[in-house]
Amino acid sequence: MVKVTLSSGTAQQFTNGVTEVNVEAKNVRQMFKALEADFPGLGEEIQTSMSVAIDGVILPDPFLEEVTEDSEIYVLPKIGGG
């Protein structure tokens, strides 16, 4: 199982306010699938319009990355800049 942490705002929309969810996944694409299955709309939402931070590194287009039980995974909005 990997632990995915959502912002409180995202959690209110998709997980009834639960900010830490656990899913079975070995990489990010599996994680998206599992999140979508457990919380319809969430996996899709993250894939299309959010970033994921794994162990402190913010990834705007995560997909191939490996994840383990020890990974610290956070979902956050996309960041651009001027």
Distance CA 16, CA 2 (A): 19
Is 76 near another protein (CB under 8 A)? Answer: yes
24-53 residues near another protein, rule: CB under 8 A: 48-49, 53
Measured CA distances, 14 to 59, 68, 70 (Å): 21, 23, 24
Q: Report the nearest approach of another protein to the CB of residue 35 (Å).
A: 16
Is 70 near another protein (CB under 8 A)? Answer: no
Identify the CA nearest to 19 among candidates 10, 30, 27: 10
Which residue in 2, 12, 25, 32 binds another protein (CB under 8 A)?
A: 12
Residues that bind another protein in the complex, under the rule CB under 8 A: 5, 7-9, 12-13, 19, 48-49, 53, 55-61, 72, 74-82
